[in-house]
Structure 1
Amino acid sequence: MTYLALRRARAIALACPLLIATPALAFDASGNEIADTFFEIFEAGKATVTGYDSVEEDGDTVTITGLRAAINDNGSKTEMTIATMSFEEGEIASGGGLTASAMSMNGVAIQSQEDGKDVNVTVAAIDIDDPVLPSAATVKAKASADAVAPSYSRAEITGILIDSGKEGKIPVSSVVAVIDEMDGELPTAGSLTVEGVEISAESLDAEERKTLTDLGYDKVVLGLSLEADWDPNTGALDISDLTISGTEAATLNASLKLNGLTREVFAKLEAAQGKPEEAMGIMQGLQVVSLSLRLDNESLVDRLLDAQAKESGATREQFVGQLSAALPMLLSAIGNPDFQKSVSGAATAFLNDPQSISATAAPAAPVPFAQLLGTAMMAPQTLPTILGVTVAANQD
C-alpha cells in the first residue's frame, strides 16, 4: 500500500495527473491564460479541479492558491490540495501546451483510498525547472498511456510523509530527478537521488518490527542514487551507478551496461507490459556488456551474524566457522570447481572480516540474452566463465 501511495503521489504531484478518458471541463475559468491552460491540461484526464481560492499575477509570476482536485480511477479515489502553486515566465505553446522557466507547489496534500484503506501523502514543496506540459489535445490523443508527464530539466520534492494509518508512516527527506538529455518524450540521460527514507520499527508489522529490533535498530534511514545514460539509436544503456545505502547498515553499489536497447526495442517492451513471455522474447536480442555488484558493510552483516549465532546457540566465531566449512558443499551444485573455489574463498574472507564483497561480470565480448538463457538451461555451470565473473572480498 505504501508503494502504491508513493507512486500515486509522484504521478499526481510531480507529473500532474494527466490521465486518459477526458471528462467535460469542470473548473471555473479564472481569466488568467496561464492558469486556465493549466486547469484545462489538468482536466484532460480523470482529474477534476473542484475549486481554487484565487489566481494572481505579479510580473512574470502567476500564482494559484487553494487548488483542490479529485480523481476517481477505477474505484480508487484520490483528493488533492495545493496551498500555493506558481509558474514563472509561463507561456502558452503554439500547440496548446504550457511551458515555464519554473513551476513550484507548496503545501501539497494527497488523500487516496484503495481497497477500502486510506493513505495520506503530504509534501512540503515541489520545485520543477523548465517544465513543459503537453496540450490537452495531446493528452486526449494518448489514450493508450496511463499518464502523460511533463518534461523538465530538474525536479525536487522535499518534506514527504506517507501515512498509511495503522500500517505506519514513512518520511522521505527529498527526491531529486535531473534530466540531462531527451529523445522526444523519453529521457535518455540523467540522475535520481532519494534521501532520508526513514523506516522505523513502529511503522512495521509485529514480525517485521521484531526482525528490525532483534538486529538492534529502532529505525533505518535509506537512500538511493542512480545515474544512467541511454543512446536510443545504438541501443547502448549505461547505468553507471546505482547505490542503495542504509545508515549504520550497508551500502550496495551496482552498475550495468547493455547493448541492443534501441528506440524500437524499448517501444516493443513498453507495449508488452503485462505479457512476460512476449517481453522475454523481445529481450533475447539484448547483450550484456558488463555488470558489477559490491556490498560495503557498516554494521548490518555483523548484526546478522551475531543474531544467527545467538539463535543457533553458538558463538559468532563458531557460527562463522560452521558456515565457512559448509560453503564448498553448498556451492558444489554450481558444477564449476574453479569458480566455486573463488567464491568460497571470497565468502570465507568476508565472513571472518566483513568489510566488502564484490562480484563483477566482464565478458570478453558482449553476451546476448538468448545465449545466456540457452546456457542456463543446457550448461549452467559454464555461465560464470562465459560472463567472466570474478568475486573478491575486502578490496578497496
Structure 2
Amino acid sequence: MTFYRTTRLMLCSAAILSIASSAFALDGNDLLKKINDVYGQQGGSIAANGVDIDGTTVTLKGASFKAAGMQDSIPLGDITMSDVEEEDGGYTIGEVAFPDVDIDKDGVAIAAADLTLSGVEVPADATKGDLGSLLFYKSAHAGTLSVTKDGAEVFSIENADATMTKRDDKSGLDFDAKINGVKADLSKVDDPKAKDAIAALNLQEINGAIAMKGSWAIGPGTIDITEYSFDFKDIGKLNLAFSISGYTPAFAKSMQDALKTVRANPNQQEAQQSAGLAMLGLLQQLTFNSAQIRFDDASITARALDFAGKQQGVTGKQLADTLKAMTPIMMAQLNVPELQNAVSTAVSAYLDNPKSLTVTAAPGKPVPVPMIIGAAMGAPQSIPQVIGLKVSSND
C-alpha cells in the first residue's frame, strides 16, 4: 500500500513539475521579436533560421543581420544567449556569445574572435522613450581582429572593451570604450607618391590605441564626450571632446522616423530634400555647450615639416618660419583681431617647439545650434565670439 502511495505521489510531482516547466519555458521567438523592436527603430533587423531553447540558454541558429539601406544581410552564424530570464515583459541576458568571424573574399581575409556582450537588458517596450526602453549592455568585448590582404596582415587590434553604467537614479548612463594594440602596416601601399610620403614620415608601421569616454543625461539630452582619442606611438595623441544638449530619446526617435521616411520614398531626390528640411527643424532642439580639439605631438610635426619643406626645396625650419609669417596674413582675412593674435601666437610657439596645440570653444552659456548656423551664414566673423573660440599651444 505504501509503495502505491509513494508511486502515485512521484507521478503527481512529475506531472506538476512538467506543467510548471512548460508554463515558465522561455519564448525564444518573443525574445527575438523584442530585440528586433529595438533594432527596428533604426531600420535594422536580426533574422534566424531557427530558435533553440535549452533551459535558460537561447540559441539563434543561422542568424543574420540586415542594416538600414542594405540589400544583403550579413551572416552571423549561431548566436548563443545564456542565463536568459523574462522580466516584466522584457528580458535579461547574462551573456551573448557571437561566433568567430572568418571571411575571405577577393584576396582580403577578416578574422575576429571572442566577441561577447554581458549584462544585456532587452526592453519590453522600445517606444517609451526612457532609459528602460533602450537595449542596454554592461560590457562588450572583442578579442583579436586582423585584416589580411594577399597573405600579409595589414591591420590588427589586440582587443577591445566597452562598458555602460546606468546611474542609480535612472537619469542617464556613463560609458567608455578602448581599442588596444591597434596596428597598421602601411608599407604595402602601392601608390609611389604615397609610399614615399609614408617612408619620409616614418609611418610604415603605426601602433597605438583608441579610447572614448562620456555620458548621456536623458532628461536634458546632454551628451558629454570627455575623451575621444587616437594615441599612436611616434605620431601623437589627437583628442576630441564636446558637449551638446537636446539629444533626448524623443529627438533620436524623430531622427529615426525622418530616415525611415527617406528610405521608404522611391523618389530619392525628393526624399533627400524633405530629410534636409526635417533635419533643420530638429536642429532647433539642440544646444551647443562646448568643444575642444587637442593634439599632443610625439615627433610627427618635425618630420612633416622636413618632408613638406623638401618638396619646396627648403629645410623644415625654413618652412616653419614661412608658416609663422603667413599665419597673421591669412587670419587677417577673417577680420577678428583678437582671434588673429591668439592663433598667430599659438602657431608660432608650436612651430618653434611642438608640444601641444589646442582649439577650444567654450561660450559663456550654452548656445542654440540655429544661432551658430545663422552666424556662420550671415556674419562668419562673429563665430569666434558666439562660441567662445580660443587657440593655445604648449599648455
Instruction: Bin the TM-score by the shorter chain.
Output: 0.7 to 0.9
- Cα shift readout 1:223-277 (whole Å, capped 9, x = no counterpart): 2211221222123221122212222111112221222323322322333346344
Match of 1:19 in 2: none
TM-score for the superposition, normalised by structure 2? 0.73
Match of 2:183 in 1: 198
Alpha-carbon offset, residue 329 of structure 1: 1.3
TM-score for the superposition, normalised by structure 1? 0.72
- Provide the secondary structure at the position in 1 that maps to 2:250: helix
Match of 2:237 in 1: 251
Describe how 1:69-88 pairs up with structure 2 within 5 A: 69=63, 75-76=71-72, 78-81=74-77, 87-88=81-82
Alpha-carbon offset, residue 102 of structure 1: 2.7
Alpha-carbon offset, residue 343 of structure 1: 0.3
- Cα shift readout 1:178-221 (whole Å, capped 9, x = no counterpart): 111289x9974311222223221146452544432231121112
Alpha-carbon offset, residue 119 of structure 1: 5.8
**Are the structure 2 counterparts of residues 186 and 283 from structure 1 closer, same or farther at C-alpha, using a change threshold of 3 Å?**
farther
Alpha-carbon offset, residue 133 of structure 1: 4.6
Judge conservation of contact 1:228–1:238 (CA < 8 Å) in 2.
Answer: yes
- Cα shift readout 1:291-325 (whole Å, capped 9, x = no counterpart): 12211000221211111111111111111111111
**Are the structure 2 counterparts of residues 345 and 244 from structure 1 closer, same or farther at C-alpha, using a change threshold of 3 Å?**
same
Match of 2:326 in 1: 326
Q: Distance in 2 between matches of 1:234 and 1:372?
A: 20
Q: Distance in 2 between matches of 1:236 and 1:39?
A: 33
Match of 2:85 in 1: 91
In structure 2, give the amino acid aligned to 1:178.
T
In structure 1, give the amino acid aligned to 2:179.
V
What 5-or-longer segments of structure 1 have no aligned partner? Answer: 1-32, 142-147
Describe how 1:66-145 pairs up with structure 2 within 5 A: 68-69=62-63, 75-76=71-72, 78-81=74-77, 87-93=81-87, 95=89, 98-105=91-98, 108-111=100-103, 120-133=109-122
In structure 1, give the amino acid aligned to 2:143.
T
Match of 2:349 in 1: 349
Q: 1:178 aligns with which of 142, 159, 163?
A: 163
Q: Distance in 2 between matches of 1:283 and 1:254?
A: 21
Q: Distance in 2 between matches of 1:155 and 1:352?
A: 44
In structure 1, give the amino acid aligned to 2:28.
T
Q: Distance in 1 between matches of 2:290 and 2:94?
A: 39
- Provide the secondary structure at the position in 1 that maps to 2:376: helix
Judge conservation of contact 2:305–2:317 (CA < 8 Å) in 1.
Answer: no
Alpha-carbon offset, residue 362 of structure 1: 1.7
- Calculate the aligned-residue CA RMSD, in Å: 3.9
Q: Distance in 2 between matches of 1:72 and 1:363?
A: 42
Q: Distance in 2 between matches of 1:149 and 1:230?
A: 13
Judge conservation of contact 2:51–2:59 (CA < 8 Å) in 1.
Answer: no
Judge conservation of contact 2:161–2:177 (CA < 8 Å) in 1.
Answer: yes
Q: Distance in 2 between matches of 1:166 and 1:209?
A: 20
Please say which structure displays the higher CA radius of gyration: 2
Q: Distance in 1 between matches of 2:120 and 2:195?
A: 41
Would you say how many aligned residue pairs link Structure 1 and Structure 2? Answer: 341
Q: Distance in 2 between matches of 1:150 and 1:171?
A: 29
Compare the two structures and name the one with the higher helix fraction.
Answer: 2
In structure 1, give the amino acid aligned to 2:120.
P
Q: Distance in 1 between matches of 2:237 and 2:75?
A: 37
Alpha-carbon offset, residue 93 of structure 1: 4.8
Judge conservation of contact 1:295–1:358 (CA < 8 Å) in 2.
Answer: yes
**Are the structure 2 counterparts of residues 46 and 296 from structure 1 closer, same or farther at C-alpha, using a change threshold of 3 Å?**
closer
Q: Distance in 2 between matches of 1:265 and 1:102?
A: 30
Q: Distance in 2 between matches of 1:387 and 1:276?
A: 24
Describe how 1:1-396 pairs up with structure 2 within 5 A: 37=28, 41=32, 45=45, 47-49=47-49, 68-69=62-63, 75-76=71-72, 78-81=74-77, 87-93=81-87, 95=89, 98-105=91-98, 108-111=100-103, 120-133=109-122, 150-163=135-148, 169-181=154-166, 188-202=173-187, 204-206=189-191, 208-273=194-259, 275-395=275-395
Alpha-carbon offset, residue 355 of structure 1: 0.5
Judge conservation of contact 1:39–1:49 (CA < 8 Å) in 2.
Answer: no
Match of 2:41 in 1: none
Q: Distance in 1 between matches of 2:255 and 2:167?
A: 19
**Are the structure 2 counterparts of residues 202 and 341 from structure 1 closer, same or farther at C-alpha, using a change threshold of 3 Å?**
same
Alpha-carbon offset, residue 150 of structure 1: 4.8
What 5-or-longer segments of structure 2 have no aligned partner? Answer: 1-24, 37-44, 128-132, 260-271
**Are the structure 2 counterparts of residues 64 and 289 from structure 1 closer, same or farther at C-alpha, using a change threshold of 3 Å?**
closer
